[in-house]
Structure 1
């Protein structure tokens, strides 16, 4: 029987949020793929490595890792069944035989003693109910001297957050985008990253600021529909009436218009690239 302790996130990622990400895998990859080479390069994945991808979602980074380990294996772990189903479909379509996906809560999923060479994550490790316990469990899945490379969302400089902040007088944004709280920006403070990973037993910590431009839509209207259809956008719209929601969409479209170039809306995202070692 599967053991889940992060029940709030389990419910979210097996509800609308997970379904939306699964249906829009290609679009979310277009938003985040500018970080892929940074992550995989920092992980220094070798041809024979066993790779663990935490919070793998629809499996893009897991499959990229699998291509780098022709004589190894890549394993993705995630809470979201809809996203894992999409991950498996994509792996089959790409004829990747050295990749598997497991449904589980990384905080308690049975990882100990499995001897992975490297653990990676592209924005999948910010949602733990108990981050120290989760990273300790991940570390237990690594061999002695095993490596970890994670991307976590940064707060400052994210143009999509700045765009949504322009709706503060229209939508109840509250503390959206603030660092330190639970959720997407829980590890946006590098000091907090070091504190958590050190407490979890990792050494050799390095936290590097990185940024990349992502493609959010064909034009401002398309990007607005995508953002407002995401989990956070849908949640915000659910708290206002229809007229206010329409105003928010028009305002966001106007805000995004200057970012249109070469047939796409491109927005800069900032992150921390975290590397560490299991001693």
Structure 2
């Protein structure tokens, strides 16, 4: 039985949220794939490298890392059993033999001394209960001189999908949705906070760069609306209002997203911080 200390996130990602991401793996990959080249270029994975992918989810970035390290290995770690099942199935279907997936909490998962050359993550390191402890544990899994490259969510204001949802503030109880600070999706939206927790975790040569990419959220406004409101955050908001209000919110969101329709798709900009660091 894996040791888990981040129990709140463990419950979320093994409940509706994890099942939704696993079932809609291809759609979530289409949302986030614009950051793949940005992340992997920064990681500079060599053919013989051992790569650690933190918060690997359904394993898209782990499989990409394994292809780059075709004479090495890639290991994905995640809390979500449904997403890891999908990750293993996808790796098998794509005949990628140098990739493995482990269920665990990166804050306490046994990583120390495993000699990874590089650690990567695409939006998987923002949910730690104790970020400094988690990054210290990740660093312990890297060899001396090993490097890290992470993409984390930047401010909500720069993300068009957040802007679209907050446009429903008159109908849905948005509260602090999209607000920076943790814990949660925007826990590392402040570059100073990023440097603080990585320094506390023992990393050096920390660099933070703002990047952006467009993701495909649906084939049209109605499709994108259904997807957004079926996700964990959207579903949570709808469950706090009555059915009639929810339908009004759905209609207004479709109207907002219609302005982003082009060439058979709804594409929205996301902004992120590209973080690189080294283990001394």
TM-score (norm 2): 0.99
2:180 maps to what in 1? 179
1:73 maps to what in 2? 73
1:105 maps to what in 2? 105
Pairwise CA distance, 1:181: 2.3
1:278 maps to what in 2? 279
| Structure 1: runs of 5+ lacking an equivalent | none
Secondary structure in structure 2 of the residue aligned to 1:126: coil
Deviations 1:29-70 (A, max 9, x none): 000000000000000100000000000000000000000111
Secondary structure in structure 2 of the residue aligned to 1:74: strand
**Number of matched residues?**
279
Structure 2 Cα separation of the partners of residues 98 and 172 of structure 1: 46
1:29 aligns with 2:22: no
Q: 1:115-264 maps to which residues of 2 (within 5 A)?
A: 115-155=115-155, 156-264=157-265
2:95 maps to what in 1? 95
Secondary structure in structure 1 of the residue aligned to 2:173: coil
Pairwise CA distance, 1:118: 0.1
Secondary structure in structure 2 of the residue aligned to 1:100: strand
Pairwise CA distance, 1:157: 1.1
Structure 2 Cα separation of the partners of residues 66 and 2 of structure 1: 24
Deviations 1:148-199 (A, max 9, x none): 0000001131000100110001000100000012100000000100011011
Structure 1 Cα separation of the partners of residues 193 and 133 of structure 2: 15
Structure 2 Cα separation of the partners of residues 176 and 196 of structure 1: 23
Structure 2 Cα separation of the partners of residues 9 and 135 of structure 1: 17
TM-score (norm 1): 1.00
Structure 2 Cα separation of the partners of residues 201 and 126 of structure 1: 18
Structure 1 Cα separation of the partners of residues 121 and 18 of structure 2: 17
Pairwise CA distance, 1:228: 0.2
Structure 1 Cα separation of the partners of residues 153 and 34 of structure 2: 13
RMSD of the alignment, in Å?
0.4
Secondary structure in structure 1 of the residue aligned to 2:197: helix
1:46 maps to what in 2? 46
Structure 1 Cα separation of the partners of residues 200 and 20 of structure 2: 34
Structure 1 Cα separation of the partners of residues 252 and 75 of structure 2: 42
Structure 2 Cα separation of the partners of residues 157 and 178 of structure 1: 11
Q: 1:8-19 maps to which residues of 2 (within 5 A)?
A: 8-19=8-19
2:64 maps to what in 1? 64
| Structure 2: runs of 5+ lacking an equivalent | none
Structure 1 Cα separation of the partners of residues 43 and 135 of structure 2: 16
